[in-house]
Structure 1
Amino acid sequence: MKTIDPVTLAVIQNGLQQVCNEMDMAFVRAAFSPVIAEGLDRSDGIYHRSTGELIAQGELGLPIFVGTMQFSTRAVIDRAKTVDDGDIFILNDPYLGGTHLMDVKFVKPFFYKGELFAWLSNTGHWPDTGGMVPGGFSAKATEVEQEGLRLPPVKLFKKGVIDDEILSIILSNIRIADQRIGDIRAQAAALEIGERRLTALLERYGADTVEQAIGLLKQGASQQMRAKIATIPDGEYRSTTIVDSDGVIDAPLEINLIIRKHGEELEFDLSESSPPCRGPMNSVIATTKSAIYLAIKHIFPEVPINAGTFEPLNIPVPANTFLDAKYPRPVSGCAAEVSQRIAEAVFLALAEALPDRLFAAPAGTSGNLAIGGSDPETGNSFVMYIVTGGGYGGSAELDGISNGCSTIGIAKTPPIEILEQRFPVLFKEFSIAEGSAGAGRQRGGFGVRYAVALRRGEARASFVMDHGRVGPPGILGGDPGQPNRIEIFQSGRKVIPLHLSKDQDIEMHAGDVIRVQTPGGGGYGPRSDRSSLLIQRDKQYGYGESSSLDPFGDDVKKQHAAE
């Protein structure tokens, strides 16, 4: 076989990446739901025809899906009895390489000249998949059936034609079903775009050349990751992070991590973590592994991403812990929250070994909030789901970013103007949470403070967040950031959730308000080492320092009194 020259290899690598990027953009532009169209909670990729291994993934997709879509694609490969051109499988089963039920996967075989060449897969966060609460983020579920409709791999499209019977089963079991068809069509269209673009790439370079390039790119990514790992001194590195509670039992869950570094490989031992929990903060193994993948990619971002990137990472299954969820354990918080505690554990464990590459803990919560009800003005049902940003941790050279997206992805809060247009809500406040950052030589970034009111009718609110018990820790002497904080105002009465960051089925009437402050990032290095120029700059901008005071402040209390 002809050897591929470096220039051609680089062009094919970028070509595969561009195929995925175009799928991402097509999905966003065609999607109906604001969480996809504006919040960007989705991802697209190309996967190996027989192993399901990652070949390429869009730069605009959520990193947490990097690993999980490998496992879900493999589940389709293992269970597909027949595969035809134009088929699209749908699945969201968490135990078959998934995350939570709202992350719905489409998996499509890609044929070139009559032969199966690869699989095209994508994930989109649907605003609702049924279950006991609108939006799917049940804080008190004790079994997965309470969280929504669970789909094994089934053909939603057969030879390019949608199966109306399967579609009717899906739509009969979810809320605002009439709006989901727009997301379904968008998700399928993104894969069709991928088909056309990948076909063009194969036509230009030939299937054999592209196949060879894929193998070389995998080998190269593995070699680069091994070279990066080799810079870490051999030894054991430990850390502990906590999840506030499981939503059912008001007690923290521990993630105890031991990283063993030897030569050019890393082993991640999570076996000493808390046992399986009753509530929805269990993590399926695909999400647990993907959280470690994305954490290492954060540390070594220059390594290209494909299956080879993960080869030097050994992750034994942490059996009998809440990080290896088995049916019927509830899992709605695994991808959005638990995965971020796992990534945080990796960052903290390696901070002293790689002080120039690591950073203090980021906010580490997606801030999942869902409000669902019926709008009396239009007569239509609605489910509003939003995520929110928080502070990033300080690093060796820079303060943390304020209102950055979560550790696991690029998903962001949809513009509040669009939310107010689409749903009967009013945002009374949306601002930077000054004073929420952890102090340090380089301080953390600031979280976000917002207040959302129901304008009319009645609704139910549910939220699954984290870092409400303790704030994101600093490193190398830095202070922690402020923790997450939620307050609910019902008819002038203030309620603080028992579990601090998790609750469900909160009755909302017109005028009721939910106020949230997301965590600030941890500080890097002792606050006494901070430059006087940086201190002066913060004072000039009115940022202030992290403190133990009520994060909502006296001015907000006065506003509540006035309301």
Structure 2
Amino acid sequence: MTAGDDRRPSADVDPTTLAVLRAALQQVATEMDTTLVRSAFSPVISEMDDRASGLYDAMDGATIAQGPDSMPIFVAGMGYAVGRTIGLLRERGRLDDLRGGDVYIFNDPYAGGTHAPDVKLLAPYLVDGELFCWLATSGHWLDIGGSLPGSVVPDATECYEEGLRIPPVLLHRAGRECPDVADLIFGNIRAPQLQRADLEAMLNGLRVGRRRMDELLARYGAGTVRAAIAQLRTRAAQRMRQIVAELPDGEYPFEDHLDDDGAGGGPMLLRLALRIAGDTMTFDFTGSAGPARGPMNLSRDTTAAAAFIAIKHMFPDLPVNGGALEPVRLVIDDSSFLNAVRPAPVGGYLDCASRVITVVLGALGRCVPEHVPADWFGTSAVMSLSATGRDGRPAAIPLPAAGGMGALPDDDGLVNAPPPHGTAKYPPVETMERRFPIRFDRIELTADSAGDGLHRGGLGNTYQITSLDPSVSISIIGDRARFAPFGVRGGTDARALTVHLDVEGRRRDLPGAKVRHVRLRPGDGVTLRSPGGGGWGDPRHRPPAAVTADLRDGYITMARAQAVYGRRNPSEEE
């Protein structure tokens, strides 16, 4: 496009114009997100919101703006994906051969991706033939191939079992599809018609992004917008340095564990030394466990993204901008499960990222203990449900569990909350029962699942599903079945995750949180109980009125009130 009068400004943009352009750039990403959601066919995007959109720097891929409702792990990691693509194009001498309407498709977990089903589209945005920025959308596809429907393989030992790996390849050239690339992708996945529709929805998001950028630059000029982008990045870096400088210098260690590696290996240690030195923050993961044989591995880029998400939760006014990462250093052993390389499987990345968030918040809890919450439920516990759909076609969908957030220094933890790195919602029961031959018997809060304290943790959830057809099967990748979410400052731990099957009227408790492709006959069922959040402070100091309210709402039982809070009938003490 042609931006019209460039109106190149001085180095600084006035504060009013800068504020307007900051909001306008975010609005571009928001409209991309909205278009993607409203155009998508699969419920994982259209109803569960497992997607993201954003604008990224022309030269290094750093985040410029993102949709405010985008998945945090996608938002935080997309900059690395764009940066890796830029680097690859530069190596191949193709960075100067970009055209308007070019679109690259990408899902490589080892170069800025997360896991195979999370597919990204990257599009260069050109002004008078010069690269101005990148537009990107991301969405979870219901299937990307691999050994199991839904591409969720709890006991995978190689990435090839988890689905098709797509390095950055040109899907559209100057607005025209490269049919050979599309044929290769859709010839290797289940339900290609549905994924083709979701691909078109992602492309729609990019088209809207281009139009809105055209309008923005036509109004303000490319020079002014470019200067504003640079200024916003500088300000984000300055704000992050200010935040870090206000923290006490020192080294703050913390460690936690994943239950297992998904392939028979025992607990996996995640060790962090958080170092604060002036206005620089270092995350040193030296000493963490080596590569997992199973799917509990995480790429370096996603490890960095998860650490930033934890920082953003602690300091919510920190801009989501690539500049905020400039004062941060990351140290990871080459042989760590937090630095996965091909062919290490990464299907359990959400739970690995969960534990990164936990140890970062835990280390900050030793740095500024009065500001840090108790541990959250700590697992996405994704249940992949597959069956012959009611339309007669094979179908699969991931069902991420919600749970309890940790209690805060000044309040109880949220119940039925998404994990800190995700905003994906559990799909509506009506949608699921219409698409799949299943019945939802219960989705409810689990009494007594939260950690107790002066402030109570949030409650976990109970999900109970019954099969109505012999084609129904489930797989689960989860965690926190062995190491429960912890309380702080005298608060107690929450209840850990549990899974059990009901087969021919008999209950079978499963020993962990990994379940591979269990076939459920009609009448068989599965029950998953997600963890609650840890408690904060001494339970003996919890006000009687709060205990009574918890009893009234069904959050705790009378037996729990008597055992933990030391009162025969809390209502008598009001």
TM-score by length of structure 2 reads 0.93
Aligned residue for 1:525, secondary structure, equals coil
Per the TM alignment, residue 353 of structure 1 is displaced from its structure 2 partner at its CA by 2.5
Equivalent position of 1:494 in the other structure:
507
8 Å CA contact 2:551, 2:558 repeated in 1: no
Deviation per CA, 1:267-293, whole angstroms, max 9, x where unpaired?
A: 111011011110000111011000001
User: Is the 1:271–1:319 contact (alpha carbons within 8 Å) kept by the matching residues of 2?
Assistant: no
1:24 and 2:39 correspond = no
CA distance in 1, matches of 2:393, 2:30: 35
User: How far has the Cα of 1:465 moved from its partner?
Assistant: 1.0
Cα displacement string for residues 494-515 of structure 1 (whole angstroms, at most 9, x for unaligned residues): 33334x1112121122222110
Contact 2:388 2:436 in 1 (8 A): no
Per the alignment, residue 76 of structure 2 pairs with 67
Q: How does 1:54-453 map to 2 (within 5 A)?
A: 54-80=63-89, 81=94, 82-334=97-349, 336-375=350-389, 378-453=391-466
1:250 Cα shift? 4.3
Aligned equivalent of 1:558: none
In 1, the alpha carbon distance for the partners of 2:539 and 2:399 equals 34
Which of 457, 466, 480 aligns to 2:470? It is 457
Name which of structure 1's ranges 75-84 and 173-182 shifts more when overlaid on structure 2.
75-84
Task: Give 1:303 deviation, angstroms.
Answer: 1.3
Query: For the aligned residues, what is the CA RMSD?
Result: 1.6
- State the alpha-carbon separation in 2 of the partners of residues 285 and 547 from structure 1: 46
User: Which of 535, 545, 549 in structure 2 is aligned with 1:533?
Assistant: 545
AA in 2 matched with 1:349: A
Distance 1:384 1:324 in 2: 28
How far has the Cα of 1:547 moved from its partner? 9.1
1:115 Cα deviation from its structure 2 partner:
2.0
What residue identity is the alignment partner of 2:272? L
Are the counterparts in 1 of residues 50 and 71 from structure 2 also a CA contact under 8 Å?
yes
SS in 2 for 1:458: coil
Residues 438 and 546 in structure 1, CA contact (< 8 A), matched pair in contact too: no
Stretch of structure 1 that moved more, 345-354 or 252-261 = 345-354
Q: Which moved more, 1:352-361 or 1:474-483?
A: 352-361
**Of 45, 48, 63, the match for 1:39:** 48
Deviation, structure 1 residue 19? 0.7
Q: How many residues align?
A: 546
Distance, in Å, in 2 between the alignment partners of 1:217 and 1:546 is 54
CA distance in 1, matches of 2:264, 2:541: 41
What is the letter of the counterpart of residue 196 of structure 2?
A: I
Letter of the 2:507 counterpart: K
- The amino acid across from 1:289 in the alignment is A
Q: Partner of 1:553 in structure 2?
A: none
Conservation of the 8 A alpha-carbon contact between 2:107 and 2:165: yes
1:540 is displaced (CA, Å) by 2.1
Moved over 6 A (4+): 545-548
Query: Could you tell which deviates more after superposition, 258-267 or 366-375?
Result: 366-375
Instruction: Verify: 1:514 aligned to 2:526, yes or no.
Output: yes
Give the CA deviation at 1:418: 0.8
Superposed CA offset, 1:329-376 (max 9, x none): 001111x1100100000111111332343111111211211121324x
Query: Aligned partners of 1:26, 1:323: CA distance in 2, in Å?
Result: 34
Indicate how the Cα distance of structure 1 residues 429 and 207 shifts in structure 2: closer, same or farther if over 3 A, else same. Answer: same
Give per-residue Cα distances to partners, 1:156-192, cap 9 Å, x unaligned. 1222122222112111111111211110000110011
What is the aligned partner in structure 2 of residue 479 from structure 1? 492
Kept in 1, the 8 Å contact 2:470–2:519? The answer is no
Distance 2:79 2:16 in 1: 28
- 2:22 corresponds to which residue? 13
The answer to whether the 8 A contact 1:391-1:519 is kept is yes
Deviation of 1:134 after TM superposition, in Å, equals 1.2
State the shift of 1:123 in Å: 1.1
- CA distance in 2 between counterparts of 1:68 and 1:10 reads 25
Q: 1:329 to 1:105 in 2, by over 3 A?
A: same
Q: Is the 8 A contact 2:248 2:276 kept in 1?
A: yes
Cα deviation digits, residues 219-240 of structure 1 (max 9, x gap)? 1111111111122111111111
Residues 49-106 of structure 1 deviation map (CA, whole Å, 9 limit, x = unaligned): 1111111111111111233211111222122323211111101111111110011010
Distance 1:53 1:545 in 2: 49
Structure 2 residue matching 1:272: 3-state secondary structure: coil
- TM-score, length of structure 1 as denominator length: 0.94
Q: Which letter does structure 2 place at the counterpart of 1:142?
A: T
CA-CA distance at 1:546 after TM superposition: 11
Q: Distance in 2 between matches of 1:459 and 1:162?
A: 36
2:149 match: secondary structure: coil
CA–CA separation in structure 2 for the residues paired with 1:290 and 1:546: 42
Greater alpha carbon shift after TM alignment, 297-306 vs 313-322 = 313-322
Q: 1:381-422 CA distances to partner (integer Å, 9 max, x unpaired)?
A: 111221121001100111000000112121110111111111
For 1:259, the aligned partner's letter is: L
Partner deviation per Cα, 1:28-53 (whole Å, 9 max, x = no partner): 11111111111111111111111111
> Do the aligned residues in 2 keep the contact of 1:439 with 1:545 (CA within 8 Å)?
no
The one-letter code sitting in structure 1 at the alignment partner of 2:442 is E
Give the drift of 1:459. 2.7
Matched to 2:545, the amino acid is L
SS in 2 for 1:64: helix
SS of aligned partner of 2:72: coil
The letter for the 1-side match of 2:321 is: N
Is 2:385–2:399's contact at 8 Å kept on the other side of the alignment?
A: no
